[in-house]
Amino acid sequence: MNVYKAVLLDLDGVVWTRYGAIDKSPDATHLFKENGIKVFYLTNNSHRSQQETFDKLCKIYLTNQDVFYPAGNEIMPGTGSYLSCITMPHEILNDKIVVCGKPNVLISEHLKKMFALEKTEVVMVGDNLETDVKLGINCGYRSVLVETGVHSRADVEKLKIKPSKIFKSLYDMACNVNNEREQVNY
Ligand SMILES: [Mg+2]
């Protein structure tokens, strides 16, 4: 299997928290780029514009289903927490509800058309098994869980969602790029 050519990076809990950059994450993105790996950012975060989120919720076009997101040492309710308040009555009425964020594969189809990346060349990196890693699995990408956000390796068995690899941080992953090049399997 070829080494990956692109990483899709979730932001919250991977690159930064609400309090600033996660330790050495800027170095990690430099390392990827120095090694010729394309870096894309893929976030479900709509928290910074609450009004927009609520507007979108009213239209039933929802950005994501994340129940939680990391805020420093705290775990805060995400858009998904509000989602059930909206979806439940619509599900009862059999209305169609569209969620266009992770783990919906629509995003990956868009990236494929624009950048012609094969599935084996892409790694989805995130801190959330239920959205980030699941998106990777849904798209046929390899997936990496980094333990700087919502989930850790202890959650893998509990949620039955298995990433291809687990790293303590994005920087740890980036430092292993050259090791990955020497490995046949990932
Ligand atoms: Mg995240």
Confidence of residue 179 (pLDDT cuts 50, 70, 90): confident
Ligand 1 center from residue 17 Cα (angstroms)? 9
Ligand 1 center from residue 153 Cα (angstroms)? 15
The predicted structure's pLDDT at residue 160: 96
Q: Which of 103-112, 138-147, 170-179 has the highest mean pLDDT?
A: 138-147
- Enter the tokens of residue 40: 């894309």
Please compute the mean of the pLDDT values over residues 155-183 and round it to a whole number.
Answer: 90
pLDDT digits (tens, 9 = 90+) for 102-134: 767 777 777 778 888 888 889 999 999 999 999
The predicted structure's pLDDT at residue 149: 95
C-alpha distance across the termini of the chain, in Å: 8
Confidence of residue 16 (pLDDT cuts 50, 70, 90): confident
Ligand 1 center from residue 92 Cα (angstroms)? 30
CA nearest to 152, candidates 166, 135, 141, 170: 166
Q: Compute the chain's Rg from CA coordinates.
A: 17
pLDDT at 143 over 50: yes
Ligand 1 center from residue 184 Cα (angstroms)? 29
Axis-axis angle for helices 79-92, 50-59 (nearest 10): 20
Separation CA 28–CA 116 (nearest Å)? 24
pLDDT exceeding 90 applies to what percent of the chain?
39
**174 in helix, strand or coil?**
helix
What pairs with residue 146 in β-bridges? 167
Ligand 1 center from residue 177 Cα (angstroms)? 21
pLDDT top residue among 139 and 42: 139
CA nearest to 76, candidates 124, 129, 25, 17: 17
CB 66 within 8 A of CB 128: yes
Structurally, at CATH architecture level, domain 7-182 sits in: 3-Layer(aba) Sandwich (3.40)
* Domain boundaries along the sequence of the chain: 7-182
Which of the residue ranges 8-22, 85-99, 147-161, 165-179 would you say has the lowest mean pLDDT?
A: 85-99
The whole model's pTM is what? Answer: 0.71
**Sign of the dihedral defined by the CA atoms of residues 111, 115, 119, 120, in that order:** negative
Beta-carbon contacts of 13 under 8 Å, excluding residues fewer than 6 positions away, are 22, 69, 70, 126, 127, 128, 146, 148, 149, 150
pLDDT at 172 over 70: yes
